[in-house]
Amino acid sequence: MIIRNARIEDVSRLREVKPVLDIEKINRRLEEQDGGRANFLIVEENGEIVSFVYLKFFGSDIHPDYPDIEDLFTKESERGRGFASMLIRECEKLAKERGFKKIGLAVNPDLNNSARKLYEYLGFHNVGEKPYVDAVYDGVKDWCIDMVKRLS
């Protein structure tokens, strides 16, 4: 098992893990990574991509002053094996190496309760703001809360 930066040749395999992942979005993430503004990390096991995450050092629209973890996703058959935790810890390490004192992410507090519990277990807490609509998928609003963790 290795954690590494995504590469252009990973595009089709990333879409196998998460078919709704847009090719334009993947390419934009790879460009941000090439420019040093982000890391698009993948977990590869036995030559297969099983999990990925996008870490933006330029933060989110709401909290641009610290890095933001976005689109943490693990292949359904591989969930529960610790890949998400490994990727979050790698994101924290990369953020600390750049001198950041905090790192954030957003999660749907109702529809993604297992992820929220994982984030809380790893030391993230709700910043206390009201839930907001992060995006609309197939006509359904994705409500989110922002969570943050202090990096020591």
Give the pLDDT of residue 124: 98
Residue 136 has pLDDT above 80, yes or no: no
Give the pLDDT of residue 110: 85
Q: Which amino acid makes up residue 33?
A: Q
Span 87-93, mean pLDDT?
Answer: 98
Residue 128 has pLDDT above 90, yes or no: no
In this predicted model, what pLDDT tens digit does every residue of 98-127 receive, in sequence order? Answer: 999 999 999 998 888 899 999 999 999 999
> What pTM did the predictor assign?
0.93
Residue 23 has pLDDT above 90, yes or no: yes
Q: Which of 85, 115, 105 is nearest to 146 (CA)?
A: 105
Instruction: Choose the weakest-confidence range: 50-59, 71-80, 123-132.
Output: 123-132
Which structural domain range is residue 120 located in?
2-150
What CATH number is associated with residue 84? 3.40.630.30
**Of residues 60 and 31, which shows the higher confidence score?**
31
**pLDDT band (50, 70, 90) for residue 142:** confident
Span 73-100, mean pLDDT?
Answer: 97
133-137 long-range contacts (CB < 8 A, ≥24 apart) are: 134/106, 134/108
Give the pLDDT of residue 100: 98
Q: How far apart are CA 42 and CA 107, in angstroms?
A: 20
In this predicted model, what pLDDT tens digit does every residue of 35-70 receive, in sequence order? Answer: 999 999 999 999 999 999 999 999 998 899 999 999
Q: How many domains does the chain have?
A: 1
